[in-house]
Amino acid sequence: MKKKLRLPPLERQEQLEKFIVKAVAQRGISRVTHSHVAELAKVSVSTVHFYFKRRQDLVASATKQVEDYLIDIFTENLEQDSVTDALTDLAEAFLQGGYENPDLIKVWLDWSVGIREKVWKDYQRLQEELHRRVRKVLTRAKREKVLPKDFDTLAATRFYIGTGHTLQLMIFDGRSRGEILKAQNALMRAVFLDNYPGKSS
């Protein structure tokens, strides 16, 4: 029988982190254990414990990966000259995450309702940062007269980000792509007060 090769420590940790997200997506933040990760990764429970001592370390790894993912797509899409393109592209990229990275999105959804969990403050901190970034774009839209000067950027930011939950739940509920895109377009029209021009190109 061919001897199984031992992965270098860094590679093993990176491998386990992927399975941690999958385990949390399947079991939930409040229930995931080292055994769940070990079963998915096909390693011993002691191996998982070696890299992630406590259950809280598993949760922290999963939420950190979600945070990194969201910060990346917000940064990539919001730093554009056109405010409508920025918000449209971000909405599309986030929606695509439900298809391409469903485990990360499931962890994010679970995290968003974990009010009694110790990681709730981390979620609030992340939300504040995401809100800050979107509101900055909407404020620029007011300055460029894309939106009226009395436009409530805070309320629109909350609506824009909050609707993301609904769109992702529609994906996991098995709704058609067409139905979801229709809902997304309704979101953009609502944010831009029915004056949504669509992307510039």
pLDDT tens digits for range 151-187: 999 999 999 999 999 999 999 999 999 999 999 988 8
**Using only C-alpha atoms, what is the Rg of the chain?**
20
For tokens 């899409």, what's the residue?
77
User: Where along the chain do its domains lie?
Assistant: 61-191
117 or 130, which is more confident: 130
117: confidence class by pLDDT, cuts 50, 70, 90 = confident
Closest by CA to 94, choosing from 82, 111, 78, is: 78
Q: How confident is the model at residue 195 (pLDDT cuts 50, 70, 90)?
A: low
For residues 118 and 109, the answer to whether their CB atoms sit within 8 Å is: no
pLDDT at residue 139 in the model: 96
Coil, helix or strand at residue 184: helix
Q: In the predicted model, is pLDDT for residue 1 greater than 60?
A: no
Compute the distance between CA of residue 85 and CA of residue 146 in angstroms, rounded to an integer.
Answer: 12
Of 3.20.20.70, 1.10.357.10, 1.20.1280.50, 3.40.190.10, the CATH number of 61-191 is 1.10.357.10
C-alpha distances out from residue 198 to 168, 189, 191, Å: 21, 9, 12
